[in-house]
A and B are shown apart, each in its own frame.
Chain A
Amino acid sequence: MKDITSAIQIIPLEHYILLCVTLFSIGLLGILFRRNTIIILMSIELMLNSVNLLVAAFSAYHSDPAGQVFVFFIMIVAAAEVAVGLSILVMMKRNVDSVDINLLNRLKW
């Protein structure tokens, strides 16, 4: 455990932050620019995971286990969310026979 922490700490924290921000941004851009719902779900997952990584790194640097516990929480919730999301997606496919998000724009104004 100890050495893992030290191993993690070899890389300076800034790098982790930078990486995570990059990942997060990639996910965000994916959400913004992709039309396909599957991909959007994946981008969301990407964002969540970048958060996971960030929290893990922080917890290592702060040598505070709470962060890693939190990571597990996030995973579980993410899983649940994706499950729901996919089911909604299936329902939608059944109704409009497509997974393009912008097909759904009847509710407006």
Chain B
Amino acid sequence: MNLALLVPLLPLLGFLITGLGYKKLKHNQAGIIASMLVALSFIVSVTLFFILKSSGKDSATVTLFNWINIGSLNIPFAFLIDHLSLTMMMIVTGIGTLIHIYSIGYMHGDERVNSFFAQMNLFTFSMLLLVMGSNYLVLFIGWEGVGLCSYLLIGFWYKNPAYNYAARKAFIMNRIGDLGFILGILLLFFTFKSVTFSEVFQQAGALQTGSTTITLITLLLLVGALGKSAQIPLYTWLPDAMAGPTPVSALIHAATMVTAGIYMIARSSILYNLAPVTLEVIVVIGLATAIFAAIIGLKQNDIKKVLAYSTVSQLGYMFLALGLGAYSTAVFHVTTHAFFKALLFLGAGSVIHAMGGEQDIRKMGGLKSKLPVTYLTFLAATLAISGIPPFSGFFSKDMILSKAFEQNPMLYALALGGALITCFYMFRLLYLVFFGENRTANVHPHESPKVMTVPLMILAVLSTLGGFLNIPALLGGKLGFSSYLDSAVTSKSGEEMNHTTEMGLIALSLVLLAIVIYWAYNTFVKKAEVPAGDEVQLPAFQKAVANKFYVDELYRAVFEKPLASLSVFLFKKVESLILDPAVNNIGRGTAVLGALTRKLQRGNISFYLFAMVAGILLFIVFILII
């Protein structure tokens, strides 16, 4: 099992090589080294998967060394290898490998390509720490590590102040979540006297369901998850994070990092099962985010922004699943989403690459013929995300929907609505980019090189067939994926609904999806409508949507500005007008007193004599009265 150490160490090695030798390495070497090392660790993870299978155990712990050990606080630097972490490891390393390879082509010619790969490797390392940590603190190390890497990579093109701002925004929003997270860990520790998963979960049974402590713990942990997984109210950083290079968006802001929150909650499923209140909160937040982000997605004209908002909304679905207690389903959706969303981003990247950096879908169109590979893969991904059978998205999303139905048909309705919106804006994107005729004359799109297209194809296959990992009983499957996870994740088992209703639901959703797709086709291909330019006045609601409901402006007004003015106030008023002078004035006051004292020294004798005599008389009176 000590093989597991290799999994994070290989990317770390890659980071060190590419980082330290970044002056020596020639143009492609860094990329190749980085990709190879990540690929290696993918292979290692797969072998681990089989080793664990053969060993027959459910989990294994590998302790590296004792990190902190004070009193009852004992935090080993240890890795936990179980079905959940293995799944995540394979996703991270697998997708990571593909994206690394893709980046070789995409980042080709950038003068800081070496440090790019160094940072990508560092990210992979931190992400692996996150998913492999055997206790909450090691998880937190990875948690903050990926935050740092995302900061670095979003601001990769540091010359542009806007990008730097976006990077800082991402980091700080994550930090806000992290504060809640760390407080949650502390409460956890002081309740269970341990932060190691196994020990915590053993003792968790002792608490009765819904006790304040457990609710508070889960809520605090949830705050962390909200920040990391870009849920309301902490989601605004993710769209801005698109400032980074496209592979970064694919790896960090679609496939892996943003799902860390889901992973963490799934990992703590036992705790969350004890806190129904928190679960309801999660349901509300998840659903709200899903729909809200989807609506915003309708009006975005930047290809990456659209994908960003769709990511937020998909994460919302995952939270919905978590809230419904269907943790394995959530993880399943994480997996499929990793496939098709990575694919979408890489495809978008390939498009942007082809368009010479152009990201505005209003200036694209008619690329179907120019970029056949990209088009086909993109199409597969679109179908997957829209939940068209038999693409992977269908399975995962359908499971979530049915779970919602089990809980409450209202939820189902809302969730389905969100799904339809998703479907609409995705096809809008597809049509605007690939159909119609080219709306920009002077660029001559060309298909990307093999090093970029091959990963696209692989991902396309995955997002097409990925669903069959987890065939529902309905279709004669036995939920292989979910049952595999069950050893690590204890999902709430709702009452199994009968197959006729389930069929009915699927049928309903398929019909609606068909309608939506046709509508989109009608609007964007038949009528060939193009979203209005920024200069055009839109009706109020559309305007609000196009401006993301002014949430950024709201935050700026509510948090940033007051903080700034408070800072100025404290410095200009409190520090410079009260505290500082307070000290100086004491000095000045004494100086004045000194001047007065010296005025006594008039220099003429009569006065002195007077003073002395006065003194004498006063003293006589003094001693005679007391």
The answer to whether A101 touches B605 (Cβ under 8 A) is yes
Determine if A28 is an interface residue (Cβ-Cβ < 8 Å). Answer: yes
The answer to whether A31 touches B604 (Cβ under 8 A) is no
From A28, A32, A105, contact of B603 by CB (8 A): A105
Most B CB contacts (10 A, CB to CB) among A28, A102, A104 go to A102
Determine if B584 is an interface residue (Cβ-Cβ < 8 Å). Answer: no
Determine if A107 is an interface residue (Cβ-Cβ < 8 Å). Answer: yes
Report the count of interface residues on B (CB-CB < 8 A): 11
- Which among B285-293, B311-319, B594-602 touches the partner chain? B594-602
The answer to whether B601 touches A108 (Cβ under 8 A) is yes
Alpha-carbon distance between A99 and B623 when the two chains are bound, in angstroms = 37
Determine if A15 is an interface residue (Cβ-Cβ < 8 Å). Answer: no
User: Taking CB as reference atom, which chain B residue is nearest A102?
Assistant: B604
| Residues from chain B with Cβ under 8 Å of A105 in the complex | 602-605
Report the count of interface residues on A (CB-CB < 8 A): 12
Determine if A106 is an interface residue (Cβ-Cβ < 8 Å). Answer: yes
Determine if B606 is an interface residue (Cβ-Cβ < 8 Å). Answer: yes
B417-454 vs A, CB cutoff 8 Å, 1 = contact: the mask equals 00000000000000000000000000000000000000
The answer to whether B613 touches A32 (Cβ under 8 A) is yes
From B599, B601, B604, B610, contact of A32 by CB (8 A): B610
The answer to whether A106 touches B606 (Cβ under 8 A) is no
Number of A-B residue pairs, CB cutoff 8 Å, is 29
The answer to whether residues A109 and B605 also contact, given A28-B613, A32-B613 and a CB cut-off of 8 A, is no
Q: How far is the CB of B521 from chain A (nearest CB, A)?
A: 99
Q: How far is the CB of B608 from chain A (nearest CB, A)?
A: 10
Alpha-carbon distance between A3 and B169 when the two chains are bound, in angstroms = 113
Q: How far is the CB of B84 from chain A (nearest CB, A)?
A: 85
From A31, A104, A107, A109, contact of B609 by CB (8 A): A31
Alpha-carbon distance between A32 and B602 when the two chains are bound, in angstroms = 15
Alpha-carbon distance between A104 and B604 when the two chains are bound, in angstroms = 7
Alpha-carbon distance between A105 and B605 when the two chains are bound, in angstroms = 8
From B599, B606, B610, contact of A109 by CB (8 A): B599
User: Taking CB as reference atom, which chain A residue is nearest B604?
Assistant: A105
| Residues from chain A with Cβ under 8 Å of B604 in the complex | 101-102, 104-105, 108
| Residues from chain B with Cβ under 8 Å of A108 in the complex | 601-604
| Residues from chain B with Cβ under 8 Å of A107 in the complex | 603
The answer to whether B606 touches A102 (Cβ under 8 A) is yes
A67-109 vs B, CB cutoff 8 Å, 1 = contact: the mask equals 0000000000000000000000000000000000110111111
The answer to whether A102 touches B605 (Cβ under 8 A) is yes
The answer to whether B606 touches A32 (Cβ under 8 A) is yes
| Residues from chain B with Cβ under 8 Å of A31 in the complex | 609
Q: How far is the CB of B617 from chain A (nearest CB, A)?
A: 10
Q: How far is the CB of B130 from chain A (nearest CB, A)?
A: 75
User: Taking CB as reference atom, which chain A residue is nearest B610?
Assistant: A32
| Residues from chain B with Cβ under 8 Å of A106 in the complex | 603
B610-624 vs A, CB cutoff 8 Å, 1 = contact: the mask equals 100100000000000
| Residues from chain A with Cβ under 8 Å of B599 in the complex | 109
Q: How far is the CB of B427 from chain A (nearest CB, A)?
A: 93
B350-388 vs A, CB cutoff 8 Å, 1 = contact: the mask equals 000000000000000000000000000000000000000
Most B CB contacts (10 A, CB to CB) among A32, A106, A108 go to A108
The answer to whether B605 touches A104 (Cβ under 8 A) is yes
Alpha-carbon distance between A32 and B610 when the two chains are bound, in angstroms = 6
Alpha-carbon distance between A107 and B607 when the two chains are bound, in angstroms = 13
Q: How far is the CB of A36 from chain B (nearest CB, A)?
A: 12
Q: How far is the CB of B604 from chain A (nearest CB, A)?
A: 4
User: Taking CB as reference atom, which chain A residue is nearest B605?
Assistant: A101
The answer to whether A101 touches B603 (Cβ under 8 A) is no
The answer to whether residues A109 and B613 also contact, given A32-B606, A104-B605 and a CB cut-off of 8 A, is no
| Residues from chain A with Cβ under 8 Å of B602 in the complex | 105, 108
Alpha-carbon distance between A42 and B603 when the two chains are bound, in angstroms = 23
User: Taking CB as reference atom, which chain B residue is nearest A104?
Assistant: B605
Most A CB contacts (10 A, CB to CB) among B598, B599, B609 go to B609
| Residues from chain B with Cβ under 8 Å of A102 in the complex | 604-606
User: Taking CB as reference atom, which chain B residue is nearest A32?
Assistant: B609
Residues facing B in A43-87 (CB within 8 A) are: none
Alpha-carbon distance between A106 and B602 when the two chains are bound, in angstroms = 9
28 CB < 8 A contacts A-B: A28-B613, A31-B609, A32-B606, A32-B609, A32-B610, A32-B613, A35-B606, A101-B604, A101-B605, A101-B606, A102-B604, A102-B605, A102-B606, A104-B604, A104-B605, A105-B602, A105-B603, A105-B604, A105-B605, A106-B603, A107-B603, A108-B601, A108-B602, A108-B603, A108-B604, A109-B598, A109-B599, A109-B601
Residues of A within 8 A of B (CB): 28, 31-32, 35, 101-102, 104-109
Contacts A104-B605, A105-B603 given; 5 further ones with Cβ under 8 A? A32-B606, A32-B609, A102-B604, A105-B605, A107-B603
